Structure 1
Amino acid sequence: MNDLLSVENLTFENCHGKRWQRKGTKFTLGPVNFSIRAGETLAIVGANGSGKSLLAKLLVGLEQPDSGAIYLNERKLEQYDNKHRVLNIRMVFQNSNESLNPGITLSSILEEPLKLNTNLDSQARMRKVEQTLKLVGLLPEHRFFYRHMLSDGQRQRVALARAIILNPQVIVADEPFAALDPSVRSQTVNLLMELQRELGLGFIFISHNLGIVRHISDKILVMKQGKVVESGKTDVIFHWPKDEYTKKLVQAHQALISGQD
């Protein structure tokens, strides 16, 4: 089976006048290498400031790398491939409340990417909106709702619906469960896994929660200060971590689990 998404020697530096850099600061990401196949989940873990979210932005095209390459179905993604990337690599952000426009209905929120990226007429777009709402466990009638009418869990489902409505191949999820309470978090994790099985999606999953990481991921990439310090299959990383930083993360997770028993 061929790789769905692969990254080769990807690097990024914020010392070239990037918009968001603070004066006098320098951060170097990479080199980063990994690959996933359809139906696989790669978890990216590490402390705040390790470069996890920056890597996510590079994957979806919100930032451009200084060197290296990203391949989708063995096709190299160039900067001018933004339309191809938008259709095939979609992102779910951490704070669904901030990413959903409070002044328009869910129908308008979900219809917008269809208007921008497809030739579907209004009736076909509405059918697609209703189908996608059902896929994420909501009702077709939810298309008339506004953001404030939804629970946190429902908002995250809408964010997921917006990500999958263009039938992408890869979902990049940046801390998608951080704002959810444990019971809602569990339901959303199960929903993600069901969608992955049904749609054959590749997932890039960024999280601090090693319990969820262990539950849903096939592979793990461990980052520290912009560098990949360890990578491998999830079971191997948890049972036989090699890097000292990885060992500390796993030990902290095990201590937390022991404390809950």
Structure 2
Amino acid sequence: MQTPLLQVKHISKTYKLNKGWFKRESVEAVKGVSFELNRAHTVAVVGEAGSGKSTLAHLLAGELELTSGEILLHGQNLATTERQQRCMDIRLIPQKPSQSLNPRQRVGDQVIAPLTMYRTLSQELRQQKLISTLRDVGLLTEHAEYYPNMLSSSQRLRVALARALIVDPEVLVFDQTLSAMDVTMRAQLVNLLSSLQQSRGMAYIIIGHQLSMIRHLASEVLVMQHGEVIERTTVATLFSEPQTDYTQRLMHAYKELTQGSS
């Protein structure tokens, strides 16, 4: 039996909060979350604000330490993987990509930075990789010389995507990246992400509540509430037969928004 690309096993994150003199309170942001993800597949994670979605995203990307549980890539525990390799294997696209860009630095320098940091390549090979990656995300070679404020919001998102792709990750995590887009941008991004997944074989984890995009991109959905996965289902079942009361309310709100109340 083939080992899944990514295995998430009972991961949890607990924060210790100070509550005055000699008092500390434990808050479980993520509680025992488990799932598997195969190459070239997409899982979506949905839930209300404060459900633990973003904490989960940062745990998967290695930006937060686990309190318990383990994350395996190709069967290897990422806790034992070198930090440099971990940063290349799983890349996070932040919630507000435009704000993650340095306004005083040219686009090309920002896209190529992870490649310079994590891989040893000649200057010529780095430039070739930069140009091919910009083209992969629908940008022009000359965009490398631009500053972020010279680009549209859609182009800045593509820059953030290129910066993640340039080190050839196996998993991309989108932390509510898709939430603030208009209809045209969402359609363009669905097509771009589908094309990149087919050509590169990457797996995606999409955190957020844009159900219209999730419907087109994901095959499986995890529904989170209060840090826990309360429902795990296929996209088809989510839209046709949601099981929990919370998921039913979520789908009812989505249908009212897209179809109007009856």
* TM-score normalised by length of structure 1: 0.93
Partner Cα separation in structure 1 for residue 11 and residue 68 of structure 2: 6
The percent identity for this pair of structures is: 37
**Does the 8 Å contact 1:47/1:224 carry over to 2?**
yes
Matched, 1:26 2:17: no
Matched, 1:255 2:256: yes
Partner Cα separation in structure 2 for residue 16 and residue 175 of structure 1: 25
Deviations 1:86-114 (A, max 9, x none): 11100111211110111110111012111
* TM-score normalised by length of structure 2: 0.93
Deviations 1:227-261 (A, max 9, x none): 11001211122222211111111111122222199
**Does the 8 Å contact 1:88/1:169 carry over to 2?**
yes
List alignment gaps of at least 5 residues for structure 1.
Answer: 18-22
- What's the offset of the Cα at 1:26? 2.2
Matched, 1:132 2:133: yes
- Matched with 2:195 is 194
- What's the offset of the Cα at 1:204? 0.2
Deviations 1:180-222 (A, max 9, x none): 2221221012101110111101000011111111111000000
- Matched with 2:241 is 240
The worse-fitting range, judged by mean Cα deviation, of 2-11 and 145-154 is 2-11
| Structure 2 letter corresponding to 1:53 | S
| Structure 2 letter corresponding to 1:109 | Q
- Matched with 1:20 is none
- What's the offset of the Cα at 1:29? 1.1
- What's the offset of the Cα at 1:16? 7.0
**Does the 8 Å contact 2:29/2:51 carry over to 1?**
no
Deviations 1:29-79 (A, max 9, x none): 111000110110000000111100100100111101111010101111106
- What's the offset of the Cα at 1:85? 1.2
Partner Cα separation in structure 1 for residue 185 and residue 261 of structure 2: 19
Partner Cα separation in structure 1 for residue 118 and residue 199 of structure 2: 23
- Matched with 2:172 is 171
| Structure 2 letter corresponding to 1:64 | E
Matched, 1:113 2:104: no
**Does the 8 Å contact 2:12/2:67 carry over to 1?**
yes
Deviations 1:105-126 (A, max 9, x none): 0111012111111111111111
Deviations 1:130-166 (A, max 9, x none): 0000000011111000000000000000000011100
The worse-fitting range, judged by mean Cα deviation, of 1-10 and 37-46 is 1-10
Aligned to 1:27, the other structure's residue is in SS state strand
Aligned pair count reads 256
The worse-fitting range, judged by mean Cα deviation, of 75-84 and 54-63 is 75-84
**Does the 8 Å contact 2:14/2:26 carry over to 1?**
no
**Does the 8 Å contact 2:60/2:71 carry over to 1?**
yes
| Structure 2 letter corresponding to 1:33 | S
List alignment gaps of at least 5 residues for structure 2.
Answer: 19-23
**Does the 8 Å contact 1:64/1:79 carry over to 2?**
no
Misfit runs of 4+, over 3 Å: none
RMSD, aligned α-carbons: 1.7
